[in-house]
Structure 1
Amino acid sequence: MSAEQKKQLEQQLWNIANTLRGKMDADDFRDYILGFIFYKYLSEKMELYANQLLAEDGITYVKLDEESEEGREFMAVIKEEAIQTLGFFLKPSELFKEIVRRGQGKEDEEGQSNFILGDLANILNNIEQSTMGTDSEEDFNRLFEDLDLTSSKLGRTESAKNALIIKVLEHLNVIDFQLDDIEADVLGDAYEYLIGQFASGAGKKAGEFYTPQQVSKILAKIVTSGKTKLKSVYDPTCGSGSLLLRVAKEVKEVSNFYGQELNRTTYNLARMNMILHDVHYRKFDIRQDDTLEHPGHIDKRFEAIVANPPFSAQWSANPLFISDDRFSQYGKLAPASKADFAFVQHMVHHLAENGTMAVVVAHGVLFRGGAEGHIREHLIADKNYLDAVIGLPANIFYGTSIPTAILVFKKCREHPDDVLFIDASAYYEKGKNQNSLRESDIDKIVETYRNWAIEEKYSYRASLDEIRTNEYNLNIPRYVDTFADEEAIDLQSIAEQLKMLETDISSTDATIAEFCQQLNIATPF
């Protein structure tokens, strides 16, 4: 797909989203438009697969007669195969294009469209029901629960709701997502685009489900450095799953994806996002719960870990956690009002011996004292897990303008005697509402990390002794000197300029005095 084609597709999708925009807030119309895109994807996936199975019989899936004995026999076989391979099943009459066709028909002489909301609700429910008792049940359970077709936000009357949904489905129906092209990921990229657009307009709440792609690229490139395949990648605060999928783009293969998300709606987005990017249901395990309080993968270790946890979130800090394997080695828990280090400890616990972990944190994590200072010292002095500290520009995240940093951890470090500090805070493109990292800025960060390079006023390798001297304070300006010498002032030149100004002022005063005398008024000085 060319850049121009991609741009056109994105514009089409955004125009469809705008059909709903005037009727509800961003969170709500996001759920509808992404839910319908997902339904379209499942339908096209089902039809392609069924047609492959029926190819030898010279028929297509939509031509099957669901009421005939032969049709029911075909469908029974197809359902069994589809559940095993795809993880779900749709009848020919339940396909996206078929429901659109029914909606486009006219119900009466007044031109009212056929009522499809009831059928559509049943179809979405049937998709979930088709997975009951199978390996994919957990991945599809209540997946469409946020797509409420009875909501008054769609219209005041049932007829108005029906007309709006038909309009949205018709617009989506004409878009070719090219699912038969295994090299293309048109639908996945379109889904990512829409998630990003919704995040940019959702203000502070966007941080719950989306990490800007520019930051995701840095994290993904760092944790995949020197690798072409990964056994596993994990995100303990996975949001919409975009960060996990970004890691997959940096290597040839990721065997398994793991994640956990607290927000139910965002958890549904993550599962949809995985499936839309053609990640088989057996290859991902996304859980819904509080990661710190109720971890879902406690016994697993991961080769790559990435995360953008909520900054300074609250957690219980229950004293019972002091005996939890994730926290017991440190002797202290992160404060209840700031869970940042609790997330770091959780991630370190899950990091494999050959793994790399990259996490976004607020700058306070680098230097705050108390329990946080104690945990920071343990990670550096006792464990020697901290590999790099990367300072990012301010105002690049949705909903917050604070400067942030990336902490990189490894249990087996290639450079065990020092820690790399990178100050990339001045390398960005300024935007009207939000700053952004350019490709050149991203490449500079990643190459500096990979080459462990020192560059004046940009990067520095600090020895462990130096960090200890600084009492394990990781504030980047302590290590990367970005101070710019001021230009020398020529005092003789300044004196001469002042003398010339004094002469000009005296001349002007004389001219004003002369005018005042002519006007027979007092001078102002």
Structure 2
Amino acid sequence: MLKGIFEGTDYIEADALGDERLGRLVEHLSKYDFDRDSVPPDMLGEAYMDLVRHFAEEEGKSGGQFFTPPHIVNLCVRLVDEFEDGHTFHDPTVGSGGMLIEAARYYREEQGGDPSKLELTGQEINPDIAAIARMNLSIHGLNGSIAREDSLASPEFTNDEDNELTRFDRVLANFPFSANWAKDELQDDPWGRFDWHEKLPRADRGDYAFVMHMAKQLKRPDRDGTGGKAAIVIPHGVLFRKHEQRYRKPMLENDMVEAVVGLPENLFQNNSIPSAILVLNTAKPDERKNEVQFIHAADEDFYRELSNQNELTKEGLDHIVENFRSWTTEERVSRTVALDEIKENEYNLNIALYVDTTEPEEDIDVQEELGKLRELQTERDEIESQMNQHMKVLNYE
């Protein structure tokens, strides 16, 4: 069962699994009988995900680098659904593999499909986290391939004959926000990924390097006979940072942006940074061409507060997905916007430009307020009368 799980993992490296953490993992796992005949894959997989979640919580902020909360994963998957047998899925920053696991679960439980007929792949820079992802797929009874390398510096899923990246039906990712990346080494990228502008993203802010990488990983109708979709968790700054307008412009003019979903703050482990989901589609249906849907899901109607972070509710998730699927314009929640309007705003994707996100003003009952004013005036007159009497007794004019 564990064959190949820890392939490529060097436990002597500084960034590999430490003795203490490895010991805790082995000690914990040795308490149980994990034979597949004894425990169904679904039950074992759920237990393993709970274990991963527990380690992420113990790791604090660093745990968020490999574990994305399940409610966000579920939303990403639902925003690119309608899966089919043979569909290929990829996560270039796969972490513990949650995105791929949820896509398989969704296909089985929501669409009645057979997950064994999906192709699941991912890449992870950290060797021990890559091993966790491989274990995760195996425990869930899924076939997949997890490569261990930096997706930007050394993409492992490539078509060497055509000197291009492998393209997928679906890409799902929560990349490390505003991370350093190998800009200098990739000025002449052999895979032609960073061609949206002659200037590459800043070396200390690789957000758009990841977005461009994933855009290149999507199938295209002109090359593959079908398009691809991506749901990418992004920091809000990707939507409006002025110097990154040069990347938003080609992304929008190529009409691959389908939706932008603004999320509440404090959804991630010990990280309160505002985030959003960027939905890309290289083959938008005719009725959605040259339009982008903006969804403001940061209001309290969409989430609940937990002890140390927020969580999207089932009702909130359903609301987002329903508005996206029906391409709905709803006051203060969602709006479908023509590309011409976005161009007028200099390709700024800030949700507040297109959906009114301010708190609504309460309706005022004029008669009721006038009544309150009269009561206050009467009270003031009574107090003034009392003061005058006191002043008179004290011989003050």
Q: TM-score range by the shorter chain?
A: 0.7 to 0.9
Q: Does structure 1 residue 275 correspond to structure 2 residue 138?
A: yes
How far has the Cα of 1:485 moved from its partner?
3.4
Per the alignment, residue 396 of structure 1 pairs with 267
Greater shift, 447-456 or 204-213, is seen at 447-456
Q: Which residue among 245, 255, 258 is the counterpart of 2:121?
A: 258
Distance 1:506 1:343, change over 3 A: same
RMSD: 3.1
Cα offsets for 1:363-396 (capped at 9, x unmatched): 11000112x2101101101x11111100111111
Per the alignment, residue 149 of structure 2 pairs with 289
How far has the Cα of 1:165 moved from its partner?
10
How far has the Cα of 1:437 moved from its partner?
0.7
Q: Which residue among 375, 386, 393 is the counterpart of 1:497?
A: 375
Distance 1:388 1:500, change over 3 A: same
The percentage of aligned residue pairs carrying the same residue is 34
Per the alignment, residue 83 of structure 2 pairs with 227
Q: Is the 8 A contact 1:143 1:268 kept in 2?
A: no
What amino acid does structure 2 have at the position aligned with 1:180? Answer: D
Q: Does structure 1 residue 430 correspond to structure 2 residue 305?
A: yes
Distance in 1, matches of 2:54 and 2:83, equals: 31
What amino acid does structure 1 have at the position aligned with 2:167? Answer: R
TM-score (normalizing by structure 1): 0.64
Q: Is the 8 A contact 1:391 1:425 kept in 2?
A: yes
Secondary structure of 2:312's partner?
coil
TM-score (normalizing by structure 2): 0.83
Distance in 2, matches of 1:305 and 1:248, equals: 13
Distance in 1, matches of 2:384 and 2:296, equals: 51
Q: Which residue among 324, 331, 335 is the counterpart of 2:198?
A: 331
Q: Is the 8 A contact 1:298 1:350 kept in 2?
A: no
Secondary structure of 2:151's partner?
coil
Distance in 1, matches of 2:124 and 2:284, equals: 30
Q: Which residue among 363, 370, 374 is the counterpart of 1:487?
A: 363
Greater shift, 246-255 or 267-276, is seen at 246-255
Q: Which residue among 247, 272, 277 is the counterpart of 1:375?
A: 247
Q: Which has the higher helix share?
A: 1
Q: Which residue among 345, 350, 365 is the counterpart of 2:238?
A: 365
What amino acid does structure 2 have at the position aligned with 1:218? Answer: L
Q: Does structure 1 residue 468 correspond to structure 2 residue 343?
A: yes
Secondary structure of 1:358's partner?
strand
Distance in 2, matches of 1:432 and 1:500, equals: 47
Distance 1:393 1:244, change over 3 A: same
Secondary structure of 1:359's partner?
strand
> What aligned pairs does 1:39-118 form with structure 2 within 5 A after superposition?
42=1, 88=3
Distance in 1, matches of 2:180 and 2:169, equals: 28
Secondary structure of 1:384's partner?
coil
How far has the Cα of 1:222 moved from its partner?
1.6
Q: Is the 8 A contact 2:234 2:278 kept in 1?
A: yes
How far has the Cα of 1:399 moved from its partner?
2.2
Distance 1:167 1:307, change over 3 A: closer
Cα offsets for 1:402-435 (capped at 9, x unmatched): 2211000011111112111111111111223211
> What aligned pairs does 1:96-495 form with structure 2 within 5 A after superposition?
136=4, 140-142=7-9, 172-173=31-32, 179-180=36-37, 184-224=41-81, 226-251=82-107, 252=113, 253=115, 254-279=117-142, 283-299=143-159, 300-318=166-184, 320-324=186-190, 325-353=192-220, 354-370=227-243, 372-381=244-253, 383-414=254-285, 415-426=288-299, 427-483=302-358, 484-488=360-364, 490=366, 492-495=370-373
Q: Is the 8 A contact 1:367 1:473 kept in 2?
A: yes
Q: Is the 8 A contact 1:332 1:375 kept in 2?
A: no
Distance in 1, matches of 2:18 and 2:193, equals: 40
Distance 1:307 1:508, change over 3 A: farther
How far has the Cα of 1:457 moved from its partner?
1.3
Cα offsets for 1:149-184 (capped at 9, x unmatched): 7x6997xxxxxxxxx9998567x23xx657337965
The size of the alignment, in residue pairs, is 367
How far has the Cα of 1:148 moved from its partner?
6.8
Structure 2 residue runs of 5 or longer lacking an equivalent are 108-112, 160-165, 221-226
Secondary structure of 2:93's partner?
coil
How far has the Cα of 1:256 moved from its partner?
1.7
Structure 1 residue runs of 5 or longer lacking an equivalent are 1-41, 43-86, 89-135, 155-163
Distance in 2, matches of 1:244 and 1:276, equals: 13
Higher relative contact order (CA 8 A, sep 6+): 2
How far has the Cα of 1:468 moved from its partner?
0.6
Q: Is the 8 A contact 2:68 2:268 kept in 1?
A: yes
